[in-house]
Amino acid sequence: MTLTGVTKATKPYEGQKPGTSGLRKAVKVFQQENYTENFVQCILSAMEGALHGCTLVVGGDGRFFGKEAVAIIIKMCAANGVRKLLVGQNGILSTPCVSCIIRKYKTAGGIVLTASHNPGGPNADFGIKFNISNGGPAPDGVTNKIYGLSQSISEYKICPDLQCDISKIGTQEYVVDGNPFTVEIVDSVKDYVEYMKEIFDFGAIKDLLHGAGGQPPLKVLINSMHGVTGPYVRRIFLEELGASEDCVVNIVPLEDFGGHHPDPNLTYAADLVNALKAGDYGFGAAFDGDGDRNMILGHKAFFVTPSDSVAVIADNTDCIPYFKKNGVKGLARSMPTGCSIDRVAAKKNVEVFEVPTGWKYFGNLMDAGRLSICGEESFGTGSDHIREKDGIWAVLAWLSILGVKKTTVEKALHNHWQTYGRNFFTRYDYENCEADPCNAMMAELDALSNDPSMIGKELSHGSKTYKVAKVDNFEYKDPIDGAVAKKQGVRILMSDGSRVVFRLSGTGSSGATVRLYIESYESDPSTYAKDAQEMLKPLVEIALQLSKLRERTGRQEPTVIT
């Protein structure tokens, strides 16, 4: 079929600035005339010389407006000189799977259609994220370029007559302006599942689930929250590992995630928590909309903080064939993440990195061969097997550990604390506040970093007193390319190693979301079993008073506590 690309005139839209993880806005914003087209053109134009003749991956979490966006992207790539697209069947690819496919087929990058854990549907959110050829989210240099282009865009290229059926696996060939253009519709899960089978010992996990060598079977409950992981869970847990149907729930992806927040935390995955509390399951897990986040629970809903989860995985790499083969080069966490993994790095004598919030900051370190395992407190866990965090990978890692070490989730954690001490951690989220007072609060907190009277100051609540050792607004210089990221969150560091961190979310689609992170370290074994909220209460209160957060936001309670 011979087709022609056309150039259409357009005008810039304000605010097409990618946040922590791509451009996220209300669906209605993306549906405005040329809004999506503008942003896609800026992504393609930012590729400059690498665009012509390249191959790109396209897919997303199946949320509302995803199929429309895929159709636009196909038509625009055709007119912009792209040679080939690998598109997930029905537009479905989890974020980790996009990363996997980009790397496996060595494509120039990929476009991920997701707003991650934000709700979906006509009145909720959509998102577009660009990943580069290493499979990871575009770094700041690229997203800044995309944003710059969006401010002056005057035209875009599209091939309006191109029709492509994305529901059938197979290859469709076109000729656009005399050049060949191929769209290959790929199985949404195949490449990813094959890769997981290389990384993990599926036989050992199967033994764990079914019982072997005198061990009783482990009953698991996996909740896909109607996000994109459904088909992956079906293939891996039901078909490959032979788990029974009652071990998986919400595995049919829905465009609106059933009307819920597809965010695996104690608030939004409350049904998983309640199901585990009943005591019938020994292990529970949930994933977010696009499959990069995970929450791990043990028997009776014993909660594993994501900061501890990645530390336990890093401490038990001998249970995972991928690491036995490749070794562990270094470890990392985002700045607000609890510091448990630092202690593992110290013991194993490997480098540890503290990067700003956002998975894109891990990519360079992995590419340079200096980072193997990393995590974020926001339920992100992953390794250098791809360049995105990976929810299913985290669950398979945990199951590998439980199988090899013949232990339970709770025992694994207690064992970890006995060795390293416990980093108590909590995060308070104040979602969708008014932006101006939050910005003012952050400015005031930022000013504290230049206030010499803060150093040595004693802050008390009840019988607890903390002494301020340092206040700063976190700044990071990438050790590989020297890029500097400034003002990544105000940190108040106490003399006993406890920390308070404030930052504004970069993923919200409107208003401001304040995140308050609190951490303290204990090496007294009698505290290990204590409730984190109880332990951290005085420091939380100190942070709230210091920042006047309640007065500023008008919120007495956070929206979500993790």
Residue 343 interacts with ligand G1P (CB under 6 A): yes or no: no
Residue 131 interacting entry, from Zn ion, ligand G1P, none, C-beta within 5 to 8 Å by type: none
Query: Please, which residue, 193 or 438, has the CB nearer to ligand G1P?
Result: 438
Query: Considering the rule CB under 5 A, would residue 20 count as an interface residue with Zn ion?
Result: no
Considering the rule CB under 5 A, would residue 288 count as an interface residue with Zn ion? yes
**Count of residues touching Zn ion (by CB under 5 A):** 5
Q: Minimum CB separation from ligand G1P for residue 115, in Å?
A: 10
Mask for 502-521, x = binds ligand G1P (CB under 6 A)? ---xxx-------x------
Write out the two tokens for 290.
């696009």
Binding mask 104-143 for Zn ion (x = CB under 5 A): ------------x---------------------------
Q: Does 25 bind ligand G1P (CB under 6 A)?
A: no
Q: Which is nearer to ligand G1P, 16 or 509 (CB)?
A: 509
Q: What contacts 478, CB < 8 A, 6 or more positions away? A: 361, 364, 484, 485
Q: Please say which residue, 290 or 522, places its beta carbon nearer to Zn ion.
A: 290
Q: Binding string, 100-119, against ligand G1P, x = CB under 6 A?
A: ----------------x---
Query: Interacting stretch for Zn ion, rule CB under 5 A, among 266-274, 287-295, 486-494, 553-561?
Result: 287-295
**Could you give the count of Cα atoms lying within 13 Å of 274 in the half-sphere of its Cβ?**
5
* Min separation Cβ 220 and Zn ion, Å: 21
CB of 239 to ligand G1P, least distance (A): 28
What is the C-alpha to C-alpha distance for residues 133 and 57, in angstroms, rounded to an integer?
Answer: 10
- 307, 342 Cβ separation under 8 angstroms: no
Question: Would you count residue 375 as binding ligand G1P (CB under 6 A)?
Answer: no
**Which DSSP state fits 216?**
P
Pairing mode, strands 330-334 and 458-461: unpaired
Minimum gap (Å) between residue 555 Cβ and ligand G1P: 17
61 binds Zn ion (CB under 5 A): no
Helix ranges restricted to H, 373-462: 391-405, 409-420, 435-448
Report CA Rg, the chain.
23
Residue 292 interacts with Zn ion (CB under 5 A)?
Answer: yes
Q: Which of 308, 331, 334 is nearest to 474 (CA)?
A: 334
Q: Is 133 a catalytic residue?
A: no
Q: Does 290 bind Zn ion (CB under 5 A)?
A: yes
Interatomic CA distance for residues 157 and 183, integer angstroms: 18
Long-range contacts of 137-144 (CB under 8 A, 24+ apart): 137/21, 137/22, 137/358, 137/359, 137/360, 137/363, 137/387, 137/388, 138/18, 138/109, 138/360, 139/360, 139/361, 139/363, 139/364, 139/483, 140/360, 140/483, 140/485, 141/483, 142/46, 143/17, 143/18
**131 sits near ligand G1P (criterion: CB under 6 A):** no
Q: Which amino acid is at 514?
A: V
Nearest CB to ligand G1P, comparing residues 41 and 357? 357
Choose one: 9-17, 251-259, 355-363, 365-373; the region binding ligand G1P (CB under 6 A). 355-363
- Shortest Å distance, C-beta 467 to ligand G1P: 28
Pick the closer one to ligand G1P by CB: 282 or 358: 358
Cβ contacts of residue 49 below 8 Å, gap of 6+?
none
Residue 290 binds which entry of ligand G1P, Zn ion, none, CB below 5-8 Å type-dependent: Zn ion
Measured distance between the N- and C-terminal CA atoms of the chain, rounded to whole angstroms = 54
**Distance (Å, rounded) from C-alpha 248 to C-alpha 285?**
10
| Residue closer to Zn ion, measured from CB, 293 or 552 | 293
Residue 390 interacts with Zn ion (CB under 5 A): yes or no? no
Site size for ligand G1P (CB under 6 A) = 14
Q: Which of 62, 110, 264, 358 binds ligand G1P (CB under 6 A)?
A: 358
b (16+ CB within 10 A) / e for 67-99: bbbbebbbbbbbbbbbbbbbbbbbbbbbbbbbb
3-state class (DSSP) for residue 195:
helix
Sketch the per residue contact string, 339 through 368, with Zn ion: x for CB under 5 A, - otherwise: ------------------------------
**Measured on CA atoms in the order 183, 186, 188, 193, is the torsion positive or negative?**
negative
Q: From 235-243, 376-384, 534-542, 552-560, give the range in contact with ligand G1P by CB under 6 A.
A: 376-384
Amino acid at 46: A
Residue 95 interacts with ligand G1P (CB under 6 A): yes or no: no
Q: Using CB under 6 A as the criterion, what x/- string covers residues 54-93 for binding ligand G1P?
A: ----------------------------------------
Is residue 201 close enough to count as binding Zn ion by CB under 5 A?
A: no
Given Zn ion, ligand G1P, none, residue 383, with its beta carbon under 5 to 8 Å by kind, binds none
Q: To 10 degrees, what angle do helices 340-348 and 409-420 make?
A: 70
From the candidates 21, 94, 99, 116, give the one annotated as an active-site residue.
116
Taking the CA atoms of 529, 531, 537 and 539 in sequence, report the sign of the dihedral they define. positive
The only residue of 66, 380, 391, 538 in contact with ligand G1P, by rule CB under 6 A: 380
Q: Which does 21 bind (CB under 5 to 8 A by kind): ligand G1P, Zn ion, none?
A: ligand G1P
For CA atoms 343, 117, 130, 228, give the dihedral sign.
positive
Which residue in this structure is represented by tokens 């060795």? Answer: 419
Distance CA 544, CA 504 (A): 15
- DSSP letter at 360? G
Pick between residue 138 and residue 221 the one whose CB is nearest to ligand G1P. 138
Distances (CA, A) of 231 to 139, 236, 535: 29, 9, 40
Q: Which does 507 bind (CB under 5 to 8 A by kind): ligand G1P, Zn ion, none?
A: ligand G1P
Asked if 458 contacts 538 with a C-beta cutoff of 8 angstroms, the reply is no
Catalytic residues: 116
Residues interacting with ligand G1P, by CB under 6 A?
Answer: 20-21, 116, 334, 357-359, 376, 378, 380, 505-507, 515
Residues interacting with Zn ion, by CB under 5 A?
Answer: 116, 288, 290, 292-293
